[in-house]
Amino acid sequence: MNRVSLLVALAYVVIGVVFSALLRSVDVHVSRLAAWVASAVVAAAQIAYEHYRLASSPRATAWHAAAAVALGAFGLALAANVHSWFAATPAHQSRLLLALVAWPVITAVPAFVAALVAALVLARVSPRA
To which H or E segment does residue 114 belong?
Answer: helix 93-125
Residue 34 has pLDDT above 60, yes or no: yes
Question: Rounded to two decimals, what is the model's pTM?
Answer: 0.89
Number of structural domains found in the chain? 1
Question: Of 64, 40, 41, 39, nearest to 119 (Cα)?
Answer: 64
Cα(62)–Cα(6) distance, rounded to whole angstroms? 14
- The residue ranges of DSSP E strands in the chain, in sequence order, are none
Question: Of 61, 43, 54, 34, nearest to 7 (Cα)?
Answer: 43
The range of the structural domain enclosing residue 92 comes to 3-125
Give the CA distances from residue 92 to residues 88, 101, 106, 112, in Å, rounded to whole numbers and listed in that order. 10, 15, 19, 29
Q: What is the pLDDT of residues 57-73, one digit of tens each?
A: 999 999 999 999 999 99
